[in-house]
Structure 1
C-alpha cells in the first residue's frame, strides 16, 4: 500500500482516488457558486440593517463617506467582487441553458430521424419479404410466362375458300375466318357506307338514320377495313312501295359479290336487316349469301342456319327513345286482366314470300302440312272468358288489323292502343304462326317486345318458334313457353304461379327489354355482342375516369388521435406494415365469354363491358389454399387459426390478400379535411387516400397536408356534383373502396372490422350508419327515415365499404335520370347507390357495430340538419322507385358484431376486437 501525496486514503485503485478528488472538488465548486454568494449577501445585508440608514456600509449615502472609511473598505471590495462574480456566473448559466436547449432539440430531431429510418428499414424489409413470398408463390405455380397471340391481319389476295356444300351447311367453324379475329383483337367492326351497294338508298330513312346514329356511338366500329374482324352491311328494311322494287336474287347476289371486302365468298360478313313493321320483305330468302351470316327478324326453316344466322328484334324505337318514366310500375303483381290477346288469323302460307320458288315451296308444304291448334286455342280461350272465373280480354277479330304473314296472327290497332291494354294485363298471350316452317317472325317478335315494355309477362303458345338472340338469352326466365297442345291447361298454369315468381319474371323481362331491345343503339350492340360472344372474344374493357391530380404539399407530420385509434393492447394489423398492393386486374377476361356466358347475358348489366374484377367472382375451396393454389392467401395462423393475436397478424378469409382505398369527398372545409386525414395515420391495409376535391376553388397554396406514410391523391373534378363520389377513378387500384365523408369520425378498429366483414360479403354495401324506407299509409308513398330502428334497408355511403364494380355501374349503367336528380337536389347519392346494389343483388346491405350517426365537434352545421334535406330525400326515394319500376330496397334485421366480443376467454387468449 502507498499513501497518496494529497493525504488520500491508501490502498484501493487509482480510479477510486481520482473519483474522490473529483467529488471533493465538485462539492467545493458547488459551495462557492451557490452557497457563498448567498452567505455573503446575507452577511452584508445584516451589517447594513445594523448600522441604520445613515451609517450603511453599502447602501446609498451622501458622498459615500462610509465607504471611504478605512475599516469597511475591505468589505466593500468583497461585495463588489462577489457581485461581479455573480453576474458572470448568471451569464454563464444562461449560456449553458441555451446550449442545453439546442442540444435537446438536436436530440429530438435525431430521435425522429432514427424512428423514420427504422420505419423505412421496416418497410423495405417487408417489401423484400413480400417480394420473396410472391416469388415463391409464382415459382410454386410452375407455369410458364405466356405472351399474347400474334395479331394476324387479313390479306386481300388470299385465295377464296371452297364454297359450302349446301346453303344450310354454314357454321362458324366452317364459314368464319377466325384468323381475322384473334382473342386479343378487340373485335373491330367495319360498317359499309351506303354508297358501297346500289339498293342502300332505298332503305327506310328512319331505319337508316337510327342505324347510322348507333354506329357513331359504338366502340367496336373501326374506319380501317384492313384490321376488321367483322364487316357489317345494312341491307334493309326497304321502303314500302319502293321504286324500283328490290332486285331479283341473281342481281342481288351480284351486288353483294361486288362489295369491296367480300373476298369472293362473303366470309366474316353480317347482313343486317332491321324492320319497323310486323311484316318484313325477307328479300334475302332465295339469295345465296355464301359465307355471310344473316341477321333479321323473320326466318323460314329452310333459310335459317342454326348457330350461324341471328334472329334479331324488330326496331320498334327507331329515332325516338322510350320514356322510362312512363313505363307502368311492376307492382301490384296482379293487374286488371289475368291475360289478354287481340289478333286476327290468316289461313295460308302459300303467298307469304313471293321470292320463293312456287312449285318447290308448294310441294314442301304438301309434304309437311302444318299442325294447326288455333281452333282449339280459340275455343279454350273463349270458354275461359265466358266462365268469368278471372277477368280476361280475348279478341279474335280486329277493326283495323295490321299486315301479317299467313298463318300468323295479325296485330290489332295502333301501337299506343295495344300498349294501353298490355299495361293492365298480368299476362300477354303470344300465339306463334300455325306453320312450323316459320322459325321466327317479326309479328311474334313485335308482340313479345311490346309485352316486355308494358310489364306484361309473355306467354308464348307454341314451342317451335325462336325468339331474338335465343343462343344467349334464357327466355324461360322472362316468358312462359307452353306447347299448343297444353292450351286446355293454360288457365290452371297461370293461376298457380306465386306473386314472387311473377314479379321475378317481370323484373327479368324489364332488364332484357332495356338492355337489348329498347333503342337502336341497344339493338346494334346486342347484334355485335352476340357475334363476339360466339367467337369467344372478350368485350372491351369498361372505361375509367382519369384522375387529374391537384399538386399539394405534404409536410405536416400526422399524429395519432388516442381517442380514435387506441385499442388497448390489441393490434389491428400485421406486425410489419404492408407496402401498397393493388388488386389484380382482368384475371377472368376470357372466362366471361368462354364459360360464364349465361350470367353475362342474363344478369345485369349484360355482356357489353369487361370489368377488371367483380364481386361475384368464384371462391376456391378451403383446401386449395394449402394444396397448390395458395397464391396470395394469408390464412390465420398459417391455417391453424387462433384468437386475437393470430387473427390480427393475417387477413385470413376466403380470398387472397388485398387492401382498400379511402375515397373522401370534400368541399371547402380544409381544417375538417386535414383532421380527418390525420386520423387515417397508421391504419392497416390502407392502400391510398383519394380526396375528391368538389370545389371549383383549388386548395390554399400554403396548406400543408398531413404525411400519413401513404399517397394522398387530390382529384380535380369538372363540376360540383355528389355523383363524383362514385366515379371509377383510375387512381383507385383496389377492389375495396371505403367511401367516407370528411367529417365522419371512425376509430381504426371500426374500420378494420368493417373491412374484414366486407371481404366476406363483397357484393354488398357494408357500413355503419343505417337508415330505412318507411311506407306512408296516408299518401301511399315512401318516406326516408333516419330514426333508430331494429330494421333497416340502407347503409349510408358516408361511411361504408363497397366494391369498385358498383362505381362503374353507378356512373355508366345506372339510368341517367337518377344522376340528374342527384345533381338537381345536391342530395340522395347515397340512396341511389343503395338502390343500385339492392337492384343488382336482391340483397340488403350489412350494418356493422352499433354506431348509428357521427358527431363532428367544431364542424360547420351539416346539410342534413335542414328540414328541406329530408323532404328532398322523400322525393328522391319515390322518384327512384318510378325509374326502376319497383322498390329494390330490402329490409334486414341483421347486424354484425365481432366474434368473441363478449366471450369469456382464458388468460392467454385475446379477443378479435376489444370494443366491437
Structure 2
C-alpha cells in the first residue's frame, strides 16, 4: 500500500510540475478528437470515411483561428468596458469641476459687486468727510469772527426824570402829564432781562360776588395767571410791570394811594370816571375816557367789558366775508341817542339820515333812533356799513364795516392798531357826503376792510383773555421789550419710506447727470440762524406784528419776511454784516 501511495505521490508531483504542459496536451487531444468526430456528431449527411487527406489540417487551422478570434473579441470587449468606465468616471469628474467652477464664478461676481459697493461707500464717506471739513472750517471762521467782534457794554437804564436830581432842567416835561420818560422806572426793565409781570391775588378780591362783573373779573384773573410773563416773587421790585384790577371809583380812592410806579390798572366798571389826582403814576386801561382825563402814550383804551366773551370766540357761527355788498348799504340802531355819545347836533344828523333813506337810488338803508329792534345781530349781518358813535366790537364781529363821524374818538388799542384798515372815519362835517363816500368803495376794498376788522376782533377784541393779553403786550411794546420766544415744534414728515411721494420718473438723461458737477458739493445740514433781529424787530417790525401778521405775542426764531439786502452789499463792508443774511 505504501508503494502505491508513494507512486501516486510521485506522479502527482510530476503532474503538478508539468501541469501546464499536461493541460495543454489534454486540450489539444480533446480538440483533435472532437474535430475528427465532427462529420459524425454534427453532420449526418456526410459519410464517416469520406474525408480528404487535407481536411484535418484545414479544420485545425480554422479552429485555431476561431479560438484566437474569440480571445481577441473577449479582450476587446473588456477593453471597451474599461474605456466606458473610464469615460463615465472622467465625465463625472468634469461635471464636478464644472459645478465648482460655476460656484467660484458666482462667488467672484458677488465679491466684485461687494468691492464696487465698498468703493462707492468709500467715495461717499470721503465726500461727507470733505463736507464736514468745510463745515468745521466755516464754523471756525464764524467763531473767530464772533470772538474778534467788539461787543458793547450794557448798562442799566436811567431812573425816571422826575426822580433825577434838580440840577437837570426838565421843567418842560414835568409840567405835562405822565409819560414813559417822566413816570416810568426803566431800571426795572433792562433789555438784558426778560419782560416780567406781577400781581398779588390776595389784594384783588372782588367786592361783590353777586355783581354782573364777577365772571369778567374771574376771567381777567385767569388770563393773568396763565400769562407767560407772570412771575411769582415776594419782592415787587423785581417785576417790570405791576397789574391791578379794580371796580368802581370807590375802590380807586381806597387802593391807588398804596400803588407805586410801573403800575397798570384795569378798570372793570364801564361807567366809572377817572380822577387824575388819584391815579398818581399808574397807567389806566379803561373803555371810557374824556378828553381831559386821557393821557396819550400812557393810558390805554380798551373795548367795553360787556361786549366781551368770558370763554372763547365762536368762529364757526360767524357770517362769511362774501358777498361784498349786503342787503343794507348802511344801518344804524340807537346810535345817536346813546347815553354815552358825545354832544352832536342830533336833529341835523336825523335830517341827513332821513334824506339818505329817501334818496332815489337803489340803495337800502335801515335807521332806528331808538333801540326797538331785538335782532341787532341779524341786522348787522345784513349790513354793509354800520354807523356808530361809541366804539363797539359787534360790527367787526358780524362783518358790518363801522363808520365813525369823529376824528377825536379813540378806538381800542389805536396806539398800535391801524384802524384805517378796518373802519371808515370821517369828520362830522362830512355827514351830508356820507352816501357818496360809502358808495365809492369798491368790492375789493370792502372785503379788505371787513377782513381786517374780523382779524382785529378775532385776535385782540373777542374775549377777556384777548383784551388782557393785548393790553399787557402793548405795554411791553412801548418799553421795546422782547416777547417770549415761540416754542419750537419739529414738523412731521409728510412722505417717508412707508408713504413715498408719488412722482413721475426722471428721464434717463437726467438720471445719468452728476448733480455735484453742476451744483457743487452739498453742505452738511445745519439749523437756520435764529433770533438775529431781536431788538430791531421791536421798532422796525412792530407795525407788521400787530397789523399784518397779527402775531405780536411771540418772538419767532426766523421770519420769511426779512428784507433782502442789495446785491452790492456782499462786495462792500464787513463780512460779519451779511454772512447770516439770507
Higher fraction of helix = 2
1:233 pairs with one of 237, 244, 262: 244
Contact 2:327–2:364 under 8 Å retained in 1:
yes
How far apart, CA to CA, are the structure 2 residues paired with 1:134 and 1:322?
Answer: 48
Q: Which has the higher contact order (CA 8 A, sep 6+)?
A: 2
Task: Note the C-alpha offset of 1:200.
Answer: 4.9
Contact 1:189–1:229 under 8 Å retained in 2:
yes
For 1:109, the equivalent position in structure 2 comes to: 114
For 2:218, the equivalent position in structure 1 comes to: 209
Task: Note the C-alpha offset of 1:108.
Answer: 2.3
How far apart, CA to CA, are the structure 2 residues paired with 1:338 and 1:83?
Answer: 110
Alignment of 1:860-875 (within 5 A): none
Contact 2:422–2:452 under 8 Å retained in 1:
yes
- Classify 1:126/1:300 alpha carbon distance in 2 versus 1 (closer, same or farther; 3 Å): same
Contact 2:217–2:268 under 8 Å retained in 1:
no
Q: Deviations over 1:289-324 (max 9, x none)?
A: 333211111122332221121111112134254533
For 1:122, the equivalent position in structure 2 comes to: 127
How far apart, CA to CA, are the structure 2 residues paired with 1:95 and 1:182?
Answer: 84
For 2:268, the equivalent position in structure 1 comes to: 274
Task: Note the C-alpha offset of 1:78.
Answer: 6.0
- Classify 1:617/1:328 alpha carbon distance in 2 versus 1 (closer, same or farther; 3 Å): same
1:445 pairs with one of 388, 391, 399: 391
Task: Note the C-alpha offset of 1:476.
Answer: 0.9
1:615 pairs with one of 550, 553, 560: 560
Instruction: Give yes or no for the alignment of 1:331 onto 2:340.
Output: no
1:471 pairs with one of 379, 390, 415: 415
For 1:834, the equivalent position in structure 2 comes to: none
Instruction: Give yes or no for the alignment of 1:253 onto 2:256.
Output: yes
How far apart, CA to CA, are the structure 2 residues paired with 1:533 and 1:464?
Answer: 24
- Classify 1:99/1:311 alpha carbon distance in 2 versus 1 (closer, same or farther; 3 Å): same
Alignment of 1:441-840 (within 5 A): 444-446=390-392, 449-545=393-489, 563-564=505-506, 566=508, 567=510, 570-572=513-515, 574-628=519-573, 656=582
SS where residue 391 of structure 2 aligns?
helix
How far apart, CA to CA, are the structure 2 residues paired with 1:520 and 1:477?
Answer: 23
For 1:304, the equivalent position in structure 2 comes to: 294
Q: Deviations over 1:755-786 (max 9, x none)?
A: xxxxxxxxxxxxxxxxxxxxxxxxxxxxxxxx
- TM-score when scaled to structure 1? 0.47
- Classify 1:633/1:253 alpha carbon distance in 2 versus 1 (closer, same or farther; 3 Å): closer
Contact 1:539–1:608 under 8 Å retained in 2:
yes
Task: Note the C-alpha offset of 1:340.
Answer: 2.4
- Classify 1:515/1:225 alpha carbon distance in 2 versus 1 (closer, same or farther; 3 Å): farther
Higher fraction of strand = 1
Instruction: Give yes or no for the alignment of 1:319 onto 2:319.
Output: no
For 2:349, the equivalent position in structure 1 comes to: 377
SS where residue 242 of structure 2 aligns?
strand
How far apart, CA to CA, are the structure 2 residues paired with 1:497 and 1:192?
Answer: 50
- TM-score when scaled to structure 2? 0.71
Contact 1:200–1:235 under 8 Å retained in 2:
no
2:385 pairs with one of 424, 427, 430: 427
Task: Note the C-alpha offset of 1:633.
Answer: 9.6
Contact 1:268–1:291 under 8 Å retained in 2:
yes
SS where residue 250 of structure 2 aligns?
coil
- Classify 1:565/1:285 alpha carbon distance in 2 versus 1 (closer, same or farther; 3 Å): farther
- Classify 1:248/1:509 alpha carbon distance in 2 versus 1 (closer, same or farther; 3 Å): closer
Contact 2:204–2:246 under 8 Å retained in 1:
no
- Classify 1:625/1:392 alpha carbon distance in 2 versus 1 (closer, same or farther; 3 Å): same
Contact 1:233–1:272 under 8 Å retained in 2:
yes
1:196 pairs with one of 190, 193, 203: 203
How far apart, CA to CA, are the structure 2 residues paired with 1:525 and 1:293?
Answer: 16
SS where residue 605 of structure 1 aligns?
coil
SS where residue 272 of structure 2 aligns?
coil
Task: Note the C-alpha offset of 1:148.
Answer: 11
How far apart, CA to CA, are the structure 2 residues paired with 1:422 and 1:317?
Answer: 17
How far apart, CA to CA, are the structure 2 residues paired with 1:460 and 1:166?
Answer: 35
Contact 2:204–2:244 under 8 Å retained in 1:
no
Contact 1:148–1:184 under 8 Å retained in 2:
no
- Classify 1:320/1:109 alpha carbon distance in 2 versus 1 (closer, same or farther; 3 Å): closer
Task: Note the C-alpha offset of 1:344.
Answer: 7.0
How far apart, CA to CA, are the structure 1 residues paired with 2:276 and 2:573?
Answer: 58
How far apart, CA to CA, are the structure 2 residues paired with 1:300 and 1:338?
Answer: 32
Contact 2:401–2:422 under 8 Å retained in 1:
yes
Q: Deviations over 1:238-287 (max 9, x none)?
A: 4xxxxxx82573x3433xx1xxxx5xxx2222111135xxx4213x4244
SS where residue 320 of structure 2 aligns?
coil
Task: Note the C-alpha offset of 1:527.
Answer: 0.7
For 1:779, the equivalent position in structure 2 comes to: none
How far apart, CA to CA, are the structure 1 residues paired with 2:522 and 2:333?
Answer: 70
Contact 1:141–1:628 under 8 Å retained in 2:
no
Contact 1:252–1:287 under 8 Å retained in 2:
no
SS where residue 534 of structure 2 aligns?
coil
Instruction: Give yes or no for the alignment of 1:395 onto 2:386.
Output: no
Contact 2:381–2:398 under 8 Å retained in 1:
yes
- Classify 1:317/1:148 alpha carbon distance in 2 versus 1 (closer, same or farther; 3 Å): farther
How far apart, CA to CA, are the structure 2 residues paired with 1:339 and 1:381?
Answer: 10
Contact 2:335–2:388 under 8 Å retained in 1:
no
Contact 2:309–2:462 under 8 Å retained in 1:
no
Task: Note the C-alpha offset of 1:464.
Answer: 1.3
How far apart, CA to CA, are the structure 2 residues paired with 1:224 and 1:348?
Answer: 44
For 1:660, the equivalent position in structure 2 comes to: none
- Classify 1:83/1:539 alpha carbon distance in 2 versus 1 (closer, same or farther; 3 Å): same
Q: Deviations over 1:664-686 (max 9, x none)?
A: xxxxxxxxxxxxxxxxxxxxxxx
Q: What CA RMSD, in Å, does the superposition of the two structures yield over aligned residues?
A: 4.2
Task: Note the C-alpha offset of 1:413.
Answer: 5.5
How far apart, CA to CA, are the structure 2 residues paired with 1:584 and 1:562?
Answer: 35
Task: Note the C-alpha offset of 1:124.
Answer: 1.4
How far apart, CA to CA, are the structure 2 residues paired with 1:547 and 1:495?
Answer: 47
Task: Note the C-alpha offset of 1:74.
Answer: 6.3
How far apart, CA to CA, are the structure 2 residues paired with 1:456 and 1:247?
Answer: 37
Instruction: Give yes or no for the alignment of 1:173 onto 2:184.
Output: no
For 1:32, the equivalent position in structure 2 comes to: none
Greater Rg over alpha carbons, structure: 2
Task: Note the C-alpha offset of 1:506.
Answer: 1.1
Task: Note the C-alpha offset of 1:179.
Answer: 3.3
